[in-house]
Amino acid sequence: MPASNQILTVAQMRAGEDALIASGETVDTLMQVAGGGAAEWVWRVAGHRRVTVLCGPGNNGGDGYVIAEVLRSRGLAVTLVAPLEPATDAARNARAAWQGKTVADGDGVAGEVLVDCLFGSGLTRPLDAGLAALLADLAIHHPIRIAIDLPSGVESDSGRALNGSLPDYTLTIALGAWKFAHWLMPAASAMGARKLVPIGVAPVPGAARLITRPALSAPVRDAHKYLRGLAAVVSGTMHGAALLACGAAMRGGAGYVKLLAYEVPQGAPAELVVDTQDLENALEDPRLNAVLVGPGLGRNGQARQRLRAVLARYCPAILDADALVLLRPEMLDGRSAPAIATPHDGELDRLATAFAVDGAGKLRIARELAQASGMVLVAKGPDTIVAAPDGRVAIAPAASSWLSVAGTGDVLAGLVLSRLAAGGDAFNAACEAVWLHGEAARLAGVAFTAGDLAPHCAIALAACL
């Protein structure tokens, strides 16, 4: 994994910086690299506008002094607000190098660009009332707001807002590595655009990663439909959701998609094979590479029997929608084939209760639920987390908010099915599907339906070849 894709905890980031210092760097040189890189982004945004830099007492404030001096030396009008004295040697050295004027409060300070360097990723307690008021006042008087490393008042490892009514930002510049708060709600909603300034931190074994465009391949020259993967969707009495999943699966790379249903549904496309034989017989096909159960399944006794039939077979399975409501831990007993669950927030909470997971926060619940259930978890929503039983974690960049429409989760489930049937690791297949889903939404534009979304999955796939 490239270092630019890793997402680090506060502890991992500190260890990475310590390793750089052990190799010959100093806190001061790292601050110059980080602050200088951030200044380049601020310079691009600011143009000739007036800039206010708000500096705190720690090394995040030190980065602010570096940024302010770079901008001042390039001719920008810079006001530096420092309500607290520097508390680290590196911050004191950076302040000594600042050649402009410093004010201790923000009374009457106004401009066009605010650079927030009050507190960075180490903050674990709320801003005190005075500092929170200062930040809020400066935010009101600066239409463009840039956060350095993280917006002040945000907990790095969870994305939790430590104070109420924190400002929104135009741009957030991550220093050294991405942090969890850059991609987790609620903090992620206030970040604006996000840019990363590397400082040389090496890849950290076991670190979480950002989901990026996968590198996929076209079918080999002698490919046939079974070689590309046979995928099946198990339907109940309601066919709409299952057909949406099939439409996505057919465009996600699998060579053969079947609908296992009681009857041929009205509106089924001609290219979709509908198998109406007894489900247990249909699942005996040794060529099956993956099975999706849940969309349109229902929640009655028959639905529960169909779910049990899927889980009783040694075949990779994807559980979505109604299957997640019906699932009980004992249904997975003795199962060794890979399984992927795709819950939204409500279903995630329901699964956590069923599997006696008592974590706090979406990230922790997804991790612990993956370990407790043995399934790869795709905890979907405005922040989508993929967690594997072996501890791997990946987080998706924010996708289009137009995805908040009925049926798009069925499209995602179909993509997961297709990528899993095409072969490979369940965790990677889930990450590929999440990226394709987000890209398809981008391509679909605005106010689309789930039916509109599915055809764009093939275009998204083409971008990965």
- The whole-number average pLDDT for the span 444-461 is 97
- The whole-number average pLDDT for the span 357-371 is 94
pLDDT digit string, tens, across residues 124-139: 999 999 999 999 999 9
Residue-level pLDDT at 411? 98
Residue-level pLDDT at 49? 97
Instruction: Determine the longest span between alpha carbons in the chain, in angstroms.
Output: 80
pLDDT digit string, tens, across residues 1-28: 677 999 999 999 999 999 999 999 999 9
- Is pLDDT above 90 for 194? yes
Distance, in Å, from the CA atom of 209 to the CA atom of 2, rounded to the nearest integer, reads: 9
Residue 181: half-sphere exposure toward Cβ, Cα within 13 Å: 30
- Is pLDDT above 90 for 424? no
Exposure string of 385-406, with b = 16+ CB inside 10 Å and e = fewer, is bbbbbeebbbbbbbbbebbeee
Distance from the Cα of residue 279 to its chain's centroid: 36
376 φ, ψ to 5°? -75, 130
- The whole-number average pLDDT for the span 406-413 is 98
Write down the residue that tokens 């143009």 correspond to.
47
Residue-level pLDDT at 419? 98
Distance, in Å, from the CA atom of 375 to the CA atom of 372, rounded to the nearest integer, reads: 8
Find, among 409, 406, 410, 13, the residue nearest to 204 by Cα.
13
DSSP string computed for 113-148: EEEEES--TT--SPPPHHHHHHHHHHHHT-SEEEEE
What letter does residue 184 receive in the DSSP assignment?
Answer: S
Domains with residue ranges and CATH for the chain: 3-210 (3.40.50.10260), 225-462 (3.40.1190.20)
Q: What is the mean pLDDT of the chain?
A: 96
- The whole-number average pLDDT for the span 326-340 is 96
Distance, in Å, from the CA atom of 142 to the CA atom of 155, rounded to the nearest integer, reads: 24
Of all residues in the chain, what percent carry a pLDDT higher than 90? 96
- The whole-number average pLDDT for the span 336-354 is 97
The tokens of 238 are what?
């309601």
Distance, in Å, from the CA atom of 340 to the CA atom of 346, rounded to the nearest integer, reads: 17
What letter does residue 384 receive in the DSSP assignment?
Answer: -
Q: How many CB atoms lie within 10 A of CB 244?
A: 27
Residues pairing with 275 in the sheet: 260
Residue-level pLDDT at 302? 96
Distance, in Å, from the CA atom of 302 to the CA atom of 337, rounded to the nearest integer, reads: 23
Contact present, 35 and 59 (Cβ < 8 Å): no
The tokens of 285 are what?
């096909």
- The whole-number average pLDDT for the span 281-289 is 96
Write down the residue that tokens 């929104």 correspond to.
168
Residue-level pLDDT at 2? 78
Residue-level pLDDT at 122? 87
Q: What is the signed CA dihedral for 268, 273, 276, 282, rounded to 10 degrees? A: -150
- The whole-number average pLDDT for the span 301-327 is 97
**Reduced to 3 DSSP states, what percent helix, strand and coil does the chain have, rounded to the nearest 5?**
40, 15, 45
Of all residues in the chain, what percent carry a pLDDT higher than 70? 100
pLDDT digit string, tens, across residues 72-123: 999 999 999 999 999 999 999 999 999 999 999 989 999 999 999 999 998 9
Distance, in Å, from the CA atom of 32 to the CA atom of 66, rounded to the nearest integer, reads: 7
Residues pairing with 194 in the sheet: 172
Distance, in Å, from the CA atom of 250 to the CA atom of 271, rounded to the nearest integer, reads: 9
What pTM, to 2 d.p., does this model score?
0.96
pLDDT digit string, tens, across residues 18-64: 999 999 999 999 999 999 999 999 999 999 999 999 999 999 999 99
- The whole-number average pLDDT for the span 261-266 is 94
